Amino acid sequence: MADKPLLDWFDLPHRVLSLHGRDALEFAHAHFMSDVAALDELHWQWSGWLTPKGRVIALFALLKLGPERLWLLLPDADPGLLAEQLRRFVFRSRLEIAAPVLHVRGRFLRPQRALGARFDGPPMDDMVRVELDMGTPTAPRTMLLSGLDPATPDSIAAGVHQSHGTQAWGRFDLTHGLPRLSPDQSGQWTPQMLSLDRLNAFSVSKGCYPGQEIVARTHFLGKAKRGLARLRGAGVGQLDEVMLGDVSGPGVSMVTPIGQVICAAGEEGLAVLPTPLPDSALSTGGHACEVVPLLDGLAR
C-alpha cells in the first residue's frame, strides 16, 4: 500500500443518501440499528437498516452533518432503491430523502483534518468537501466526498492505477472485517452473523428499531452461533460454500457444508462460519483454505 499510485486519489463506488428535515434524526434513530441519538455533530458511525426479522438490508457509514441533516454513505447498496424503501415509512414525518450526486474518492494517506469518528468539512451550498478518516492508527486511509469538479483533488490516479486503488480499498475493508454485501445478500444476514459488534455498528440498548428484539435477544442470551471469519485460499474468490473436511484427502466425499463466503478480494475473503470455529480442515471452491485473523481499527 506504500506504492506511489495508492498515495494519489482514486475513485470509489460508494454513493450517498441524504436525510434532511426536522424529523431526520428521530426517523433515523427509530429505523437504523446504531444509536443515532448519541451521535455528535460532525461525527460518523457504522450503522445499518434491518428487516423486522433482524437481517441486514443495507450496511453504511452514518454521518451527522447538522441537527437536521444526515448522510448515509453506502459502499454497496443502491441509493435510489434504498430511498424508495425508506420513504414507505416516512408517513407524517417532516423529512426529505434524496441521493445527492457526489464524487467519492480515496487514498492511502493520513487525513489532513479528520480524525477517527470526527469528519471535516460540513457542506455549504454546492461547495461540498467532506473528509473522513477511514483508516486505522497504523494504516492510514482517507475518503473525500466532493461536489467539486472531478479534477479538483491535488493528484488523481488514472487508468490501471484507478482500478488498483479501488481493489486495494476493498481488500483493506475485508481484512479489517467490514463485509461488502452484494444486492442478492440483502436481508440474508443478522448483525451478529456479520460480527458487526467489532465495528460498534449496532445497539442493543437504545430502544426499538426494526429487528431490535431479535438482535437484543441473540446478544443477551448468547445465541450467536455464527460469525465472520477471514479465509485465505485459492478457491475463496468463487464465493462458494465453506466445507468441513480435507478436500485433498481420501475422504473428499465426506466433506460437509458449514458456512458461506460472502465477499472476496483475490484469494482472501470473509465467510459466515460457526462459532467457535471448528478445529478441522476447511475448503471452499474445491481448494483447501485457512482462517487468518481479522485486523482491528475500523470501529467508530
Instruction: Read off the C-alpha cell for 229.
Output: 471469519
What is the CB neighbour count within 10 angstroms for residue 15?
21
44: which 3 cell numbers? 460518523
> Over the stretch 241-299, which tens digit does the pLDDT of each residue have?
999 987 765 555 578 999 999 999 999 999 999 999 988 899 999 999 999 999 999 99
Instruction: Provide the whole-model pTM.
Output: 0.92
As a whole number, mean pLDDT of residues 234-242 equals: 97
CA quadruple 187, 179, 6, 10: dihedral, nearest 10: 10
Q: Give the integer Cα–Cα distance in Å for 278 and 281.
A: 8
Distance between CA atoms of residues 219 and 27, nearest Å: 24
pLDDT of residue 149: 56
Q: Distance from first CA to last CA of the chain, Å, rounded? A: 23
At residue 39, the pLDDT reads 98
Q: Are 56 and 50 in contact (CB under 8 A)?
A: yes
Q: Does 4-175 match 196-292 in CATH topology?
A: no
CATH 2.40.30.160 assigned to domain 196-292? The reply is: yes
Residue ranges covered by each domain of the chain: 4-175, 196-292
163 Cβ neighbours under 8 A, 6+ residues apart:
none
Q: Does domain 4-175 have CATH number 1.20.140.10?
A: no
Mean pLDDT for the chain overall: 91
Q: What is the DSSP string of 142-158?
A: EEEEE-S-TT-SS-B--
